[in-house]
Structure 1
Amino acid sequence: MSMSKLLKEFKEFAVRGNVIDLAVGVIIGGAFGKIVTSLVNDIIMPPIGMLLGNVNFTDLYFSLEPERTMVDGKHISLAQATDAGVAVIAYGQFINIMLNFIIVAFCIFLMVKGINSLHRKKEAPAKAEPTTKECPFCLSTIPVKATRCGHCTSQLVQEEAR
């Protein structure tokens, strides 16, 4: 395959509407993720930590080597433990990330729900064609395609012939 043909195919692929839409979505999603991370870490978690006794959730961890995380009878911070190479389970960070996920998922749910409601409003139900009509002689209801009334046997004039 020649290089010019490869570049032409790549150009066709890259300028398709779906690819550009996806790229815009990824960029906006990345920025939205940073906003949600800041919301959780800087606004939601500090009051929760304060209510729970001034706990910093990002610093909560469970040490797999407890003897290496105690200095003068006090636990060292998560940053100090990881710098020292101690094996830890950082469940506080996991809590923050789970809250980030829940908030992002809820926002996406609301966005999709809003978009779906807009689509439903735009789609007006199609008006169905009538399947029956009234006989002009006896006023009985008969099928639209009837050429003779089934009740009074009158010959009906077709709409196309008029």
Structure 2
Amino acid sequence: MIKEFKEFIARGNVIELAVGLVMGQAFTAIVRALVDNIIMPLIVAMTGQTKVESLVINIASAEVGYGLFLQAIINFILIAIALFIVVKTINTLTAKNKPAPEETPVEAPTVEEYLAEIRDLLAEKAEK
């Protein structure tokens, strides 16, 4: 059972998944800092509120708080844009590093092959 566990852990997919998870957490912290410390204060300054959490709409006797939802949307958009840029950069770099596939030259038929094909077609036509 321990041997199977070692084989499971040593698989490339599990290790790549673990690295991706750790990198995702670190990246989320960067984006959260950007949103919390730069973007949200700008939104608060434009709306005149003291905190994003206090952004609400009063409908009759109910308060609809949209501040946290707004923050979640901005976080999502920034993470999506940043991941797109990272993936696009990685794809570009890996495409440059891969050697171009060798093109196998297409061999053109020889004159004899063309003549044999014409002969066969004429023989077929004569039989019909």
TM-score, normalization by structure 2: 0.72
Task: Give how far 1:29 is off.
Answer: 0.5
Residue in structure 2 matching 1:128, options 104, 107, 114: 104
Identity of aligned residues (%): 41
Query: What corresponds to 2:65 in structure 1?
Result: 90
Query: What corresponds to 1:79 in structure 2?
Result: none
Higher helix share: 2
Query: What corresponds to 2:121 in structure 1?
Result: none
Task: Give how far 1:33 is off.
Answer: 0.7
Report the structure number with the largest CA radius of gyration: 1
Deviates more, 1:112-121 or 1:18-27: 112-121
AA paired with 2:37? D
Change beyond 3 A, Cα 1:65–1:113: same
Matched, 1:114 2:89: yes
AA paired with 1:30? Q
Task: Give how far 1:53 is off.
Answer: 2.1
Deviates more, 1:118-127 or 1:92-101: 118-127
TM-score, normalization by structure 1: 0.59
Matched, 1:9 2:4: yes
How many residue pairs are counted as aligned between the two chains? 114
Matched, 1:57 2:52: yes
Residue in structure 1 matching 2:76, options 89, 98, 101: 101
Change beyond 3 A, Cα 1:60–1:101: same
Task: Give how far 1:95 is off.
Answer: 0.5
Residue in structure 2 matching 1:19, options 5, 9, 14: 14
Contact 2:49 2:55 in 1 (8 A): no
Partner SS for 1:129: coil
